[in-house]
Structure 1
């Protein structure tokens, strides 16, 4: 009976070993530094989009303030 348990464990060890070999072959990841450099480049390319958003927000803020000023001044002026 003890011999059967050893045989079962040996088969499982072989299967795990084969699985780990396949995983090592498939998962060759790039160095972390190259990933961070790529992310930094992508961030630099996205900066103009933020500027456009801020310009639109400023424009809407100015229009809103002008609308408030016009609503307060026009009834007294007319």
Structure 2
């Protein structure tokens, strides 16, 4: 009876969080836009949970959810409320 031992040649890991440069590469946007979106997320409580390291690093899945939400009618209403509170 022969014992077969599999050999793992390569391991691919998927990052869970990233900074602006990596987010820009993942989502095919500019690094400046990734930073703007990340800073915007701080104002939305349901998305600010995805910010780590004092808001410098973002959970990739939460970032994806935010850019999907960004620009919708609900987002526009919420953004207007946030802007009015900040004045």
The structure showing larger relative contact order (alpha-carbon pairs under 8 Å, at least 6 residues apart) is 2
Q: Report the structure number with the largest CA radius of gyration.
A: 1
TM-score in terms of structure 1 length: 0.25
| Structure having the larger proportion of residues in strand | 2
| Structure having the larger proportion of residues in helix | 1
TM-score in terms of structure 2 length: 0.24
